[in-house]
Amino acid sequence: MTKLKLQNLTGMRDILPEDQVYLKKINKAVESITNYYSFKRIDTPILEQAEVFAKGTGATTDIVEKEMYTFRTKGGDMVALRPEFTSGIVRSYIEHGMYNLPQPVKLWTMGPCFRHERPQAGRYRQLLQFDIEALGDTSPSIDGQIIQMCYDILKDLSFKNINIEVNSIGDQECRPYFKKTLTTYFRSKKSSLCNDCQRRLKENPLRILDCKEEKCQRVKSGAPQIIDHLCEACHAHFKQVLEFLDELELPYTLNPYLVRGFDYYTKTVFEIIEKSEAGEAQGSLVGGGRYDGLVKLLGGRSTPAFGAAGGVDRILNVMKTKELKVDKNKEETEIFLAQLGQFAKKRSLKLFEEFRTAKIPVAESFSKDSLRTQLKTADKMGIRWVLIFGQKEALENFITLRDMKTGVQTEIKLDKVVGEMKEKVSK
């Protein structure tokens, strides 16, 4: 009988210790910039009523039709693992009466989302995202601010060759007319579209612009552009967004076929693209846009809003592949405490607490008794300073410091050791 091999489900992954340093760096960059701009953290449930996402993202989107993890509970409720953050945050905004707070309400979060799609490099079925949302402001300055924040997060993570792609997809005033124009064009090219896009032609022709199939990309390149069909209000809004980007000196390109994958978007949409050395787009790292109708759609008051989400997995993979700078020295411990004998081990617990209070990380190997084994462990970890605490040291209140680089050993009084080691590791 073959032994069952247990392993990760397709599209799931373990974030191993060696990747955690990158994850911590990304989290720190997001938290630093969102705090600076006075965005407050919110955490919504991973599990929501399926209707939150079906109504929010749109019934004809790929997420709802193909990718959402849904199931019925024992009580008969249809629920879904969240495929994105915005709809859940809007539900929370409505449920907790956040429209009574000073507007805009500025929120951010980070965590796992779930989409049943074909796994590929940097894309998993359990994916990590960071998310930034501002609800309750119509001003184009909010659009510009959040785009800048996303750009700055990537710059703080040492990304260099990135560019913002931006477009306006209009609103309920001008988009219906454009949809008719677009439908007329795609009907004349119907035989050249993929099967999914032939179906989308009836349901929502804008979704065709988001198709990644090569044959549809060729057809799309000749399609009418929505920017030529914007109403006066949408045109004025988009013009001001571009003026903000110019003022901020952010590198951007107008992409007239950028629509994003959710139905809730209105007016401004954007993506931040990484480019290769040859200048070719390598994939989107961050994307988002304005969603002025979503709060009302989910049962709240009419509330303008703008948001963005970043693909943490893809960002992490690029950082690893390109070996983008991560300050690993601060993550690595520079001191190792070797203890010999039960008496020394017991006394060293208090010493560990003193180092923790002083915020000095110290590595150890409590389970090992042999000094030789512990020194080998310290050497493998690349640690320079080893504190040796044995029976004699414990009885006479001193510690032996070994410099692994030179082999030189010195004695330090026990009550002075934390202060002296703090000076050494801070140099």
Residue 265 among known ligand-binding residues = yes
Residue 84 among known ligand-binding residues = yes
Determine the Cα–Cα distance for residues 18 and 379; give it in Å rounded to an integer: 18
Collect contacts of 123-128 with beta carbons under 8 A, ≥24 apart: 123/311, 123/313, 123/314, 124/11, 124/12, 124/13, 124/313, 125/9, 125/10, 125/11, 125/12, 126/11, 126/12, 126/13, 127/311, 127/312, 127/313, 128/23, 128/311, 128/312, 128/313, 128/316
Residue 282 among known ligand-binding residues = no
- Write the CB contacts of 36 (distance below 8 Å, at least 6 apart in sequence): none
Residue that the structure tokens 């209000």 belong to: 233
In a 3-state reduction of DSSP, which class is residue 268? strand
| Residue 8 per-residue DSSP state | P
Determine the Cα–Cα distance for residues 389 and 208; give it in Å rounded to an integer: 69
Residue 123 among known ligand-binding residues = no
Determine the Cα–Cα distance for residues 27 and 271; give it in Å rounded to an integer: 20
Residue 37 among known ligand-binding residues = no
Determine the Cα–Cα distance for residues 296 and 106; give it in Å rounded to an integer: 18
Torsion of CA 414, 419, 421, 425, to 10 degrees: 170
Residue 264 among known ligand-binding residues = yes
Residue 86 among known ligand-binding residues = yes
- Using alpha carbons, select from 235, 231, 241, 254 the residue that is nearest to residue 306: 241
Residue 36 among known ligand-binding residues = no
DSSP per-residue codes, 78-123: EEEE-S-SHHHHHHHHHHTTGGGSSSSEEEEEEEEEE--S--BTTB
Residue 290 among known ligand-binding residues = no
Annotated binding site for L-histidine: 84-86, 115, 129, 133, 260, 264-265
Annotated binding site: 84-86, 115, 129, 133, 260, 264-265
